[in-house]
């Protein structure tokens, strides 16, 4: 299993959970080598198998090399989790072009490039054994996001549409393509920015279930969608949001 953006947050949680279930995991990163190596070490110390691979998912050549590196050590992949993504808050008129392009290229183009490479290797029509592609979207893709986060929401809406579209194209080739929309999730990125009291209040005010979600809850849902228990599911994007979309969807 390749997990893009696997060095922290939701990606790291999915990588840990996958390794605990017996997957051999590639922890992809762009620049955070030390964090990726720490996740690999943690997995190895727990008896799992993992490797860290640097790749810029915006670059098709870099993506291709990542898949080759993984195949060389672990054999051909069976699963891809497109998790890497960025969000940079700014009203559209004030957003520099390079920032806008970075969000689009990382979140949407990166997902497309990694998916394209995975299909070449997974497709039974191309000699592969089939497999699963899981795209990590966001509940913002369902309701349009909040002011200042419009481009991020647009990329996630694009991922949702891409998930449905590509699933139709490869359904007969042994590949399931699913999506997962996290809501407000407590990751280590918040540490030092929000106090525990602020996090609790955010959950109470912004989520119908009255709390923010935990990374482990996203990881469990992601691994379920990848598992044989979800074997008749494709083209579907699952909300794992505590009902967040109910508050902001109208």
Nearest to 68 by CA among 2, 134, 135, 129: 2
* Annotation says 152 is catalytic: yes
Chain Cα centroid distance, residue 4: 7
List the catalytic residue out of 23, 29, 143, 152. Answer: 152
> What are the residue numbers of the active site?
152
């Amino acid at each position: 299993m390749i997990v893009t953006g696997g060095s922290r947050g939701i990606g790291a949680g999915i990588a840990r959970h996958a390794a605990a279930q017996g997957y051999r995991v590639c922890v992809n990163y762009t620049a955070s080598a030390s964090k990726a190596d720490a996740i690999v070490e943690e997995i190895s110390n727990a008896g799992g198998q993992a490797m860290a691979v640097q790749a810029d998912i915006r670059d098709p050549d870099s993506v291709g090399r990542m898949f080759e590196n993984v195949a060389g050590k672990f054999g051909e992949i069976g699963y891809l989790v497109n998790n890497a993504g960025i969000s940079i808050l700014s009203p559209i008129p004030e957003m520099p072009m390079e920032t806008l392009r970075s969000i689009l290229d990382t979140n949407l183009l990166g997902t497309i490039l990694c998916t394209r490479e995975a299909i070449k290797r997974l497709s039974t029509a191309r000699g592969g054994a089939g497999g699963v592609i899981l795209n990590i979207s966001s509940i913002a893709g369902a309701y349009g996001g909040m002011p200042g986060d419009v481009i991020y929401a647009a990329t996630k809406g694009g991922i949702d549409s891409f998930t449905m579209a590509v699933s139709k194209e490869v359904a007969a080739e042994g590949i399931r393509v699913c999506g997962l929309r996290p809501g407000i999730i407590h990751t280590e990125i918040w540490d030092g920015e929000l106090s525990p009291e602020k996090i609790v209040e955010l959950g109470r005010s912004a989520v119908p279930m009255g709390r923010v979600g935990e990374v482990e809850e996203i990881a469990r849902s992601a691994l379920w969608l990848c598992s044989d228990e979800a074997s008749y599911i494709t083209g579907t994007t699952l909300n794992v949001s505590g009902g967040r979309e109910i508050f902001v969807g109208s």
